[in-house]
């Protein structure tokens, strides 16, 4: 099939590349000429395991191309995916200006029937706005061209996006016509051959499905973090509690690990956008508001523990931070807990020596660029030298089984603050560590 993908961010680039991998002819469009030229050279602007190789291979084969010209892309495709960003507005709503700008361009430039697919995460009712925008432009042209609007939300996990796309749990399609559903079924057939995971529904339900999925997962995380805070106060161990409830098949083990809060491009934005939508329709979403409130507080749990031990005045103190990305296997620092923890400590006078295998550039160039109290180092053990304690904030694999003798030798004090509960408290205390984790009384 001939496909255009508007937007080469995380969702657009992964989607376009995976469609090309299955033999479709794909043209990805971006207004950033420098970015487009870099992609043509095989330089991928984001870290996602396996993505760079697939981009380069499919570009060389000619199944994947990049351009800044949306007219060229539309002329050479009959399915157009809108995959631009929907950043969070000041009031928590999703900002649709980029989505609607693409819709306007489609209406101005399309020359044949188009299947227009909303791949961006958008609020309920966005498909109607996209359709109206396209139709308005066609009316200005006095054109009788037709189009279908389709909702096809993405369910990609950063760090595992290629696998998620190639072997999806489900493919959700919202459309009004049989023709639209049929063409999407054909497009996704190679991805769902082993199991029929194709789910069709009305457009508004498809739009709602994405927000509901992310809100549900965020709710599980905030619920467990709230329970961990209770455990810490009553003398229970959240790690044992997690094992006890996870064995119940109705609950399971997914997303019930305590930590220092969720981040990333999806959960924070989508929970707030869904809450804003509910309020716009006259409903107060008490659970969603609580999920966000708990998460906001949870990002401060580790810094609070450090302050409790070292005091409010941290002048002259240095802390080693292991992990900056909001989760492992990505360089994404959007809404990462590390940002909150580092800023809370440095504003009290502390110095930070930070190490992350992938996210250093993001921190230096954007998220912590104005924080002059942060030094970036090239290895986890280098960060420990002359530091007063180590803070683990991202559960990268290389942090799972470190040399604790080496850690103790390099730190000024054998103190670890673990924001992801990676280590065994009893074992560490036996070898002389002071170990602080989430949901366990120190």
Residues classed as catalytic: 266
| DSSP string of 381-420, one letter each residue | TGGGTT-SEEEE-S--GGGSS--HHHHHHHSSS-EEEETT
Q: Are 110 and 135 in contact (CB under 8 A)?
A: no
Contacts of 257 (CB under 8 A, 6+ apart): 224, 242, 420, 421
d(CA 284, CA 341): 31
Tokens in use for 391? 């803070």
Q: Are 341 and 302 in contact (CB under 8 A)?
A: yes
CA 352 to chain centre: 25
First to last CA, the chain: 59
d(CA 332, CA 264): 7
d(CA 329, CA 331): 7
Beta bridge mates, 16: none
Cα–Cα–Cα angle for 279, 264, 170, nearest 5°?
Answer: 80
d(CA 237, CA 160): 30
């Amino acid at each position: 099939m001939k496909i255009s993908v508007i937007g080469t961010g995380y969702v657009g680039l992964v989607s376009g590349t995976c469609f090309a991998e299955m033999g479709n002819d794909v043209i990805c469009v971006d207004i950033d000429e420098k970015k487009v030229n870099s992609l043509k050279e095989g330089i991928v602007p984001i870290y996602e395991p396996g993505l760079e190789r697939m981009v380069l291979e499919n570009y060389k084969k000619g199944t994947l191309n990049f351009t800044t010209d949306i007219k060229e892309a539309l002329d050479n495709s009959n399915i157009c995916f809108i995959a631009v960003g929907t950043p969070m507005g000041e009031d928590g709503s999703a900002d649709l200006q980029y989505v609607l700008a693409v819709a306007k361009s489609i209406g101005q430039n399309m020359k044949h029937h188009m299947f227009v697919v909303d791949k961006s995460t958008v609020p309920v009712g966005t498909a109607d706005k996209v359709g109206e925008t396209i139709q308005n432009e066609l009316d200005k042209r006095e054109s009788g061209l037709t189009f279908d609007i389709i909702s096809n939300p993405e369910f990609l996990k950063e760090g595992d996006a290629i696998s998620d796309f190639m072997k999806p749990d489900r493919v959700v399609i919202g459309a009004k016509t049989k023709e639209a559903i049929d063409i999407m079924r054909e497009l996704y057939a190679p991805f769902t051959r082993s199991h029929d995971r194709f789910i069709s529904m009305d457009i508004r339900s498809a739009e709602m499905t994405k927000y509901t999925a992310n809100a549900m997962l965020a709710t599980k995380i905030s619920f467990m973090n709230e329970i961990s805070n209770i455990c810490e106060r009553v003398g229970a161990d959240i790690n044992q509690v997690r094992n006890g409830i996870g064995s119940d098949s109705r609950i399971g083990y997914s997303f019930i690990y305590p930590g220092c809060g969720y981040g990333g491009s999806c959960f924070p934005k989508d929970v707030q956008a869904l809450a804003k939508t509910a309020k716009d329709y006259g409903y107060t979403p008490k659970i969603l508001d609580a999920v966000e409130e708990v998460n906001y507080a949870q990002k401060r749990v580790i810094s609070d523990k450090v302050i409790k031990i070292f005091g409010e005045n941290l002048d002259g103190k240095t802390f080693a931070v292991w992990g900056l990305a909001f989760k492992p296997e990505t360089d994404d620092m959007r809404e990462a807990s590390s940002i909150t923890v580092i800023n809370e400590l440095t504003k009290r006078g502390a110095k930070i020596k930070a190490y992350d295998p992938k996210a250093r550039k993001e921190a230096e160039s954007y998220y912590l660029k104005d924080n002059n109290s942060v030094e970036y180092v090239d290895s986890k053990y280098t960060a420990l030298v002359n530091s007063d304690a180590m803070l683990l904030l991202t559960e990268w694999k290389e942090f799972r089984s470190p040399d604790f003798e080496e850690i103790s030798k390099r730190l000024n004090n054998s103190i670890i603050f673990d924001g992801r509960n990676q280590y065994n408290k009893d074992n560490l205390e036996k070898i002389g560590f002071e170990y602080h984790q989430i949901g366990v009384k120190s």
